């Protein structure tokens, strides 16, 4: 019985993690309700989730609102253009599909390819903003670069996201946990991509904001 109710029991640790994912999922949904706050809300979700999957021991609610506050302005300036661009491309694909064959097929394929590239960038843009201090222009450049450098992981993350959306379409009630689970899966992969630039808190490294790849490469080039 002592082992059963031991808080270090793998079962209770797993349940605690699921609860944290549920909390983050719910906070993300609530903070996305104004729509224009999708950017900072998604940034905060990845910020807290990356800490969670790396087992860094920070309270998820505190992590979420810390990032939401710190990245609010930049998240909005990044999120609104990305959201509008994605909606525009989706609408174009749908209208070309409904219009029929001929030249509309060409434009449907063109906009579908553009939407795919937009998806690649969006998958990485908010995690990059969550973990590194860069301008939005630099974030978009490096989001695209990382998505191509790790194309296998990018496609896998895109597939899992599409599956999560399909599940929510079939069972809308799961919206309060599915996006959190999808984000957790993506955060595991993104944390592996970011690993060379993330501090190891278990080794006592500083958690001060990091410079990103460009500065590191410039230093290496100068040497």
d(CA 126, CA 180): 15
Residue 34, pLDDT > 80, answer yes
User: Is 29 part of any domain?
Assistant: yes
- Residue range 158-165: average pLDDT? 96
| pLDDT mean over 1-13 | 57
Tell me, yes or no, whether 202 lies in a domain. yes
Q: Is residue 2 part of a domain?
A: no
pLDDT number for residue 48: 94
CA distance 18 to 37: 25
Mean pLDDT, to the nearest integer, of 45-58?
89
* Residue 149 domain-assigned (yes or no): yes
Domain contains 170 = yes
> What is the reported pLDDT for 104?
84
Does residue 206 fall inside a structural domain?
Answer: yes
pLDDT per position as a tens digit, 136-154: 999 999 999 999 999 999 9
**124 and 143 Cβ atoms separated by less than 8 Å:** yes
Tally Cβ neighbours within 10 Å of residue 62: 10
Tens-digit pLDDT profile for residues 77-129: 999 999 999 999 999 999 998 887 778 889 999 999 999 999 999 999 999 99
Q: Is this prediction's pTM over 0.95? A: no
Distance between CA atoms of residues 98 and 113, nearest Å: 17
Domain holding 114, by residue range, is: 10-222
More confident residue, 142 or 4: 142
**What is the rounded average pLDDT of the residues 196-213?**
54
Q: Single out the residue of 21, 30, 47 nearest to residue 181, CA to CA.
A: 21
Question: Does a structural domain hold residue 5?
Answer: no
Structural domains of the chain, count: 1
- Percent pLDDT > 90 in the chain is 71
For tokens 């946990």, the residue is 177
Please choose, from the candidates 8, 66, 59, 57, the residue with its C-alpha nearest in 3D space to the C-alpha of residue 201. Answer: 57
Do 63 and 218 meet the contact criterion of CB atoms below 8 Å apart? no
Structural domain includes residue 211: yes
Buried b / exposed e over 43-59, threshold 16 CB at 10 Å, is bbbbbbbbbbbbeeebe
CA distances from 90 to 75, 87, 109, 219 (A): 22, 5, 12, 41
Q: Which of 34-38, 54-58, 101-105 has the highest mean pLDDT?
A: 34-38
């Amino acid at each position: 019985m002592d082992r059963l109710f031991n808080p270090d029991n793998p079962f209770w640790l797993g349940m605690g993690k699921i609860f944290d994912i549920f909390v983050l999922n719910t906070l993300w949904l609530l903070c996305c309700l104004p729509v224009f706050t999708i950017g900072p809300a998604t940034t905060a979700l990845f910020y807290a989730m990356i800490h969670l999957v790396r087992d860094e021991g920070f309270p998820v609610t505190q992590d979420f609102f810390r990032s939401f506050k710190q990245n609010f302005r930049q998240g909005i300036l990044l999120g609104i253009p990305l959201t509008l661009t994605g909606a525009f491309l989706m609408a174009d694909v749908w209208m070309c599909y409904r219009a029929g064959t001929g030249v509309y097929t060409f434009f449907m394929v063109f906009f579908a390819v553009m939407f795919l590239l937009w998806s690649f960038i969006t998958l990485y843009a908010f995690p990059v903003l969550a973990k590194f201090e860069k301008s939005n222009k630099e974030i978009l450049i490096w989001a695209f670069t990382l998505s191509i450098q790790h194309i296998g992981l990018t496609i896998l993350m895109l597939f899992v996201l599409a599956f999560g959306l399909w599940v929510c379409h079939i069972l809308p009630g799961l919206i309060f946990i599915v996006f959190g689970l999808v984000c957790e899966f993506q955060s595991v992969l993104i944390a592996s991509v970011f690993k060379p630039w993330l501090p190891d808190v278990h080794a006592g490294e500083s958690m001060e904001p990091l410079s990103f790849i460009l500065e590191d490469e410039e230093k290496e080039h100068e040497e």
